[in-house]
Structure 1
Amino acid sequence: MDYREFLEQIKKDLSERLSGVLEGATVDTTQVDKLQGRSYEGLSIVPEGSIIGLTMDLQPYFQMFNDGISYENIVEQIADRAAGAYADRPAVTAEDIGSYEAVKDKLMIQLIGREGNEEMLRTIPHHSIEDMEIVYRFHVQDTELGMASALVTNSMLERYGITAEQLKQDAFVSAVSHDPFEIKTMAEILNELMGAEIIPEDAMPMYVASNKERIHGVGVIAYPEFMEEAAKRLGGDFYVLPSSIHEVILIPDTPDVSALELQGIVQSVNVEQVAPEERLSDHIYHYDSKEKLFERSDKYESRKLNQGQERESSRSSVLDALRSNQKDCSERPHKNTAVIRRDVAAL
């Protein structure tokens, strides 16, 4: 039995198992498109009269089946999970999401990497910031399991009758108001988590930026006031290291900081410690507080090199002009100053 056949069989048997729990629920196979490479083909379960359905990725269960777990056991587990998920589902009505006015003040922003999300980005409104993309969600409900939110899609924009630019404007107003950014030292973060100060005094100064919940908090770096506020806190230019889709690390740009080493650290941590679905980027970024410019670090290094070459070229041009003027002066006939002094004395 391959995965497609497994899905079809589960679809049939699950409908029967759920008849006493979710009367009238529609069970069907579906393609679920998600960010960060988490798209999958699975099952959708829509209770009768509900506008919100449940989706389930059955790949783990298919693996269990291949590992020898009985089919009956697996169907029972899926049915229990579906019933439990339905009981914990957000209580959402058509009025909650049916109009733009209903969701406008619940909008949030999320920052994702462009690489690996190209297919999904074709179906959702987004705005670029270097090699990352700002996408938009709206808060649905807080549950015991956490916050439930929904991704804004192009079809939603059409239904709401708004443009992507209007969405962006309203989302930033809502996000800044309801989901403000926080910048804390690494020592403060570790103290909150472990209750102890464990950062050596001579360690490289590091700051963590996110939202208060530290969930999908990387989007705060796109807030209008964030970069300038961070520059004040860090004392000038700084590097931005993407720790995950939840937070970034800020490091002051000082002479003893190597961008190449920071880049290597990010790439190593991404491979060894960050789950693929939570990776933001393998690159590091830089904020120039004088130019008020946020850019990828390699662009910053290239721009700095070009500026140095331009200054050297300008300096050479000035020196060439001075040498030329000096040569012109040396080739001109000299006045007989002795005669002039004598004539002046005679007067």
Structure 2
Amino acid sequence: MEYREFMEQIKKDLPERLSGTLEGATVDTTQVDRLQGCSYEGLSIVPDGSMIGLTMDLQPYFQMFSNGISYENIVEQIADRAAGAYADRPAVTAEDFGSYEAVKDKLMIQLIGRKGNEEMLKTIPHHPIEDMEIVYRFHVQDTEMGQASALVTNSMLEHYGITAGQLQQDAFASAVSHKPFEIKTMAEVLNELMGAEIIPEDAMPIYVASNQERIHGAGVIAYPKFMEEAEKRLGGDFYVLPSSIHEVILIPDTPDVSVMELQEMVQSVNMEQVAPEERLSDHVYHYDSKEKLFERTDKYESRKLNQEFDDKNVRPSVLWTLRLNQKDCSEKPHKGTEAPRRDETAL
């Protein structure tokens, strides 16, 4: 049995297994589009008379079926999971999202990588930052597991009758007010999480930047005044490492810091420790406090090299340019770490 056939069979058999608030629900196959490569084809379950339902990815259950678990057992598991998920759904009504005035204070921002999200970006408002994009979400509800939120789409802008520019302005105002940024040392963060001193304070200064919940917190680098505050904390220029979509790591730009080692660490951590849906970027970024400029390190090093040649009234040769590009392409992964955080539920 192929996956599509499996879905159709579940669609046919599941309704009679649903009970309680889900009895009589409409079950259908659906395409669920999500960021970070997490789109899937699965089931939608909408209770009778309700505007709010739930979706389920059936791939894990198809894998169980392929591994020999009985079909009847799997249908029962899906019914139980659907009942539990619907019971824990956010307590929202159509009125909660009926008008833009009702929802604009619930806006928040999320920073994602452009690579891998190209198709989704065609359907949602977004704002570029180097090779990343700011997208927008509505905060729905805090839960025991973390946070429920909904991605803002182009169709929502049309429904509310607002422009992308208005959305951006209101989203940043709401995010700064309700989800202010924090810059803490790695030692402080780990001490809070573990309840004990993990990293000695005299080690190389490493800082973690996020929002207070540490959910979708990497976007704080786009907040007004964030770079200026980070510059004060770190004492000047600094590097930005994209730990995940939830936080970034800041490291002072000092002579003993190797950009290549930072790049290798980011790539290694992404490959070995960060879930694909939470990866932000494989690149390292730099903030120039004199020029007030945030950019990828390859652009920074190229700009710095050109400035050095300008000061000497000469231009870099093709060989120099190729050597700089070759340096960026020859990086290999190293092992690193990532701070734990709470989960996030997307609707």
Per the normalisation by structure 1, the TM-score is 0.89
State the Cα distance separating 1:261 from its structure 2 match: 1.1
1:49 alignment counterpart: 49
Query: Secondary structure of the residue that 1:68 maps to in structure 2?
Result: coil
1:281 alignment counterpart: 281
State the Cα distance separating 1:19 from its structure 2 match: 5.0
Query: Share of identical aligned residues, percent?
Result: 87
Q: Within the alignment, does 1:12 sit opposite 2:9 as a pair?
A: no
What pairs with 1:200-219 in structure 2 (closer than 5 Å)? 200=200, 202-219=202-219
State the Cα distance separating 1:90 from its structure 2 match: 1.0
Q: Give me the whole-angstrom Cα distance separating, in 1, the residues matched to 2:76 and 2:141.
A: 29
State the Cα distance separating 1:21 from its structure 2 match: 4.4
Q: Within the alignment, does 1:170 sit opposite 2:177 as a pair?
A: no
153-162 or 186-195: bigger deviation? 186-195
Query: Secondary structure of the residue that 2:312 maps to in structure 1?
Result: helix
State the Cα distance separating 1:203 from its structure 2 match: 2.5
Q: Give me the whole-angstrom Cα distance separating, in 2, the residues matched to 1:175 and 1:78.
A: 37
2:3 alignment counterpart: 3
Q: Give me the whole-angstrom Cα distance separating, in 1, the residues matched to 2:212 and 2:20.
A: 42
Q: Give me the whole-angstrom Cα distance separating, in 1, the residues matched to 2:313 and 2:46.
A: 69
Q: Give me the whole-angstrom Cα distance separating, in 2, the residues matched to 1:50 and 1:285.
A: 46
State the Cα distance separating 1:32 from its structure 2 match: 0.3
State the Cα distance separating 1:195 from its structure 2 match: 1.9
What pairs with 1:146-295 in structure 2 (closer than 5 Å)? 146-200=146-200, 202-295=202-295
* Structure having greater relative contact order (Cα 8 Å, sep ≥ 6): 2
Tell me which amino acid in the other structure corresponds to 2:131: D
Please list the CA deviations of residues 30-64 of structure 1 after superposition, one character each: whole Å capped at 9, or x if unmatched: 00000010000000011122222100000000000
2:101 alignment counterpart: 101
Please list the CA deviations of residues 4-31 of structure 1 after superposition, one character each: whole Å capped at 9, or x if unmatched: 0000000111111115541331110000
CA contact (8 A) 1:11 1:28 kept: yes
Q: Within the alignment, does 1:76 sit opposite 2:76 as a pair?
A: yes
Query: Secondary structure of the residue that 1:177 maps to in structure 2?
Result: helix
Please list the CA deviations of residues 233-278 of structure 1 after superposition, one character each: whole Å capped at 9, or x if unmatched: 0000000001111110000001111111111110111111111111
170-179 or 17-26: bigger deviation? 17-26
Tell me which amino acid in the other structure corresponds to 1:203: A
State the Cα distance separating 1:146 from its structure 2 match: 2.3
Q: Give me the whole-angstrom Cα distance separating, in 2, the residues matched to 1:5 and 1:269.
A: 38
Tell me which amino acid in the other structure corresponds to 1:82: A
Q: Within the alignment, does 1:306 sit opposite 2:309 as a pair?
A: no
2:330 alignment counterpart: none
State the Cα distance separating 1:196 from its structure 2 match: 2.0
Query: Secondary structure of the residue that 1:197 maps to in structure 2?
Result: coil
Q: Give me the whole-angstrom Cα distance separating, in 2, the residues matched to 1:154 and 1:136.
A: 11
Tell me which amino acid in the other structure corresponds to 1:5: E
Any stretches of 5+ residues in structure 2 without a counterpart?
Answer: 315-347
Q: Give me the whole-angstrom Cα distance separating, in 1, the residues matched to 2:97 and 2:38.
A: 24
Query: Secondary structure of the residue that 1:243 maps to in structure 2?
Result: strand
State the Cα distance separating 1:143 from its structure 2 match: 2.3
Please list the CA deviations of residues 72-97 of structure 1 after superposition, one character each: whole Å capped at 9, or x if unmatched: 00000000000111111112111101
- Report the number of matched residues: 315
CA contact (8 A) 1:239 1:251 kept: yes
CA contact (8 A) 1:240 1:285 kept: yes
Q: Give me the whole-angstrom Cα distance separating, in 1, the residues matched to 2:107 and 2:200.
A: 40
Q: Give me the whole-angstrom Cα distance separating, in 2, the residues matched to 1:156 and 1:121.
A: 14
Tell me which amino acid in the other structure corresponds to 1:132: M
Please list the CA deviations of residues 165-216 of structure 1 after superposition, one character each: whole Å capped at 9, or x if unmatched: 1000000000000000000001101111122223245532100000111111
1:111 alignment counterpart: 111
CA contact (8 A) 2:10 2:75 kept: yes
CA contact (8 A) 1:19 1:25 kept: no
Q: Give me the whole-angstrom Cα distance separating, in 1, the residues matched to 2:156 and 2:169.
A: 16
Tell me which amino acid in the other structure corresponds to 2:132: M
1:135 alignment counterpart: 135
Q: Give me the whole-angstrom Cα distance separating, in 2, the residues matched to 1:45 and 1:242.
A: 36
Q: Give me the whole-angstrom Cα distance separating, in 2, the residues matched to 1:294 and 1:49.
A: 50
CA contact (8 A) 2:187 2:201 kept: no
Query: Secondary structure of the residue that 2:41 maps to in structure 1?
Result: strand
CA contact (8 A) 2:266 2:283 kept: yes
2:85 alignment counterpart: 85
Q: Give me the whole-angstrom Cα distance separating, in 2, the residues matched to 1:143 and 1:249.
A: 27
Query: Secondary structure of the residue that 1:313 maps to in structure 2?
Result: coil
1:66 alignment counterpart: 66
CA contact (8 A) 2:111 2:245 kept: yes
Q: Give me the whole-angstrom Cα distance separating, in 2, the residues matched to 1:126 and 1:154.
A: 10
Per the normalisation by structure 2, the TM-score is 0.89
Larger Rg: 1
2:327 alignment counterpart: none
CA contact (8 A) 2:187 2:200 kept: no
CA contact (8 A) 1:7 1:29 kept: yes
Tell me which amino acid in the other structure corresponds to 2:166: Q
